[in-house]
Amino acid sequence: MRVVTGALVVAGVLVFPLTQASADPGNGGAAGDAELARRQAPMLVLADELEAASGGGFAGVELDVPGGVVHLYAKGGAPKGVGTLAAKAPGGIRVQVHPAEYSAAELRERAEEIIRTRGLSAGGDVHRVTPMADGSGLELGVTSQAGMAKVAGERMVVGAEVESVTPYDGRWGGNSPFEGGIQINACSASFGGLMSPAREDWVYPAKLITAAHCFSVGDEVRTGNSTTGTVVIGHVEAVNPQLDTALIAVDPGKFVTGWMWDGGVQDGSEFGKPVVGTSQARKGSLVCASGAWSGVHCDIKITKTDSTLDWGTHTSRAVSIGDQLQGQLAAGGGDSGGPVFTLTGDFSSVLAAGVIIGGDSKKPATCTYVSSRCSTRLFFTDFRTVRSYWGLSWMAGQGPEGL
């Protein structure tokens, strides 16, 4: 068993040389962050196209945002159509195709087997299984150092680490229409959306998404105690522990908006941005999290995707993990259910990437605002998976505000 690091070295790399990427902006403060965000936006689009063209051999994608490289890992050689996509890539972006030992489908099948036989629910000490983006195998998260020795030699397992995942329970809201990122009860809301009409009057019911571990079906949902006082939003309509998300039905006569909160918490720095679409979680890409209790935090680099977590009482899937690059706060207590997002190229709007579900208590951080139990590591559920499961017909931000 080898220790998994961030570097990926794969023999037989197939390179599609394009225009050379511009120099790495480094850690140049806001200017460097802005340049990375601009560079990342078209790379995320290209990654989606490459996955779609890869078919059953697809293993994973990793972004080198500073270097302008999209790494595609595939079993069975370079997929057809990848060369065409690479040739059409925007200037400054290169595509590199690497051979993979396993496909994503093979890794997911083995991951399910390990959770079923070695997970916390089965009396074992494995609480996370993550397919490696390079298709080399699986990484496990275990609850103790002793668990590291137990998983050594497991088939398709290439690494493990000890961690303790802590779910984060509990912007302090105004009145309808309700935005993403607001405080609700002891947690946060991520994004608003609409359902296909269930009635003949063509009314599209308004919904909010939050974390499943914060609520039970039927719970009343309220905003925080702001200048308008506590306001009833609606009630929890359904809960899905496997995606750790819950669906909030907004009361009749109240609405959601296609915007989300950015900035701090009750300090005058809050501001809104429109949500105009979704973004797939990709290893190497940068995301921001905006919890209602700790505020917004960026420079969170995704290190693992498509993970399965065994909590002992239930299993959660489609989980991604990110670490704050400067070792600072990524999310804290109360942020569960809040939005994870990426920026569009011009920073005027955001793309929904995920729903905050927790952090790692073994990686503590200094808390901000009214949060507690804060971590430099972020766990979140992939929003595209969440949106598809709940059947949201479109993001509210793609239509008029106040839908």
Residue 5 lies in a domain: no
Domain count, the chain: 3
H/E stretch holding 37: helix 29-54
Task: Kindly state whether residue 112 falls inside one of the protein's structural domains.
Answer: yes
4 is a domain residue: no
Does 196 share its domain with 320? Answer: yes
Residue 398 maps to which CATH number?
A: 2.40.10.10
pLDDT, position 347: 81
Last residue of a domain, one of 162, 183, 199: 162
Do 112 and 139 belong together in one domain?
A: yes
264 and 296 share one domain: yes
List, as one string, the DSSP characters of 53-109: HHGGGEEEEEEETTTTEEEEEETTSSPTTHHHHHHTSPTT-EEEEEE-SS-HHHHHH
In a domain, 9, yes or no: no
The predicted pLDDT at position 2 comes to 32
The tens place of each residue's pLDDT in the chain, 403 residues long, gives 333 222 222 223 333 322 222 222 223 334 457 788 888 999 999 999 999 999 899 999 999 999 999 999 999 888 888 888 988 888 889 999 999 999 999 999 999 999 999 898 888 889 899 999 999 999 999 988 887 777 777 899 998 888 887 765 448 867 888 889 999 999 999 998 887 665 555 567 889 999 999 999 999 999 876 555 688 999 999 999 999 999 999 999 888 888 899 888 877 788 888 998 899 999 999 999 999 999 999 999 999 999 999 988 889 999 999 999 999 999 999 999 999 999 888 788 899 999 999 999 899 999 999 898 999 999 999 999 999 999 886 555 544 343 3
Residues 139 and 276 reside in one and the same domain: no
Looking at the structure, do residues 130 and 211 belong to the same domain, yes or no? no
Q: Is the same domain home to 109 and 199?
A: no
Whether residue 194 sits in one domain with residue 63 = no
* pLDDT on residue 110: 95
Q: What is the pLDDT of residues 197-249, one digit of tens each?
A: 655 555 678 899 999 999 999 999 998 765 556 889 999 999 999 999 999 99
What domain range is 45 assigned to?
Answer: 14-99
pLDDT attached to residue 227: 55
Q: In this structure, are 206 and 345 located in the same domain?
A: yes
Q: How is residue 120 annotated by DSSP?
A: G
Could you tell me if residue 1 is inside a domain? Answer: no
Q: Does 28 lie in the same domain as 88?
A: yes
Residue 29: helix, strand or coil by DSSP?
helix
Q: CB under 8 Å to 5, separation ≥6 — which residues?
A: none
246 vs 234: CA distance, rounded Å: 13
CA triple 103-107-109, angle to 5 deg: 115
What DSSP character marks residue 197? P
Quote the CA–CA distance of 227 and 12 in Å, as a whole number.
61
Using an 8 Å Cβ cutoff, are 75 and 57 in contact?
Answer: yes
Which residues on adjacent β-strands are paired with residue 98?
73
Distances in Å between the Cα of 25 and the Cα atoms of 32, 270, 312, 351 are 5, 28, 43, 23
Q: With respect to residue 246, please indicate whether it lies within any of the assigned structural domains.
A: yes
Indicate whether 204 belongs to any domain. yes
CA-only gyration radius of the chain, Å: 21
Geometric angle at alpha carbon 47, from 129 and 303, rounded to 5°: 35
Domain end: 135, 162, 189, which one?
162
Strand partners, 248: 208, 236
**92 shares its domain with 172:** no
Q: Does one domain contain both 20 and 143? A: no
Residue 6 identity: G
* Structural domain contains residue 3: no
Among left, alpha and beta (phi > 0; psi -120 to 50; other), residue 251 is beta
- Same domain for 362 and 228: yes
Residues in contact with 30: Cβ distance below 8 Å, sequence separation at least 6, in sequence order: none
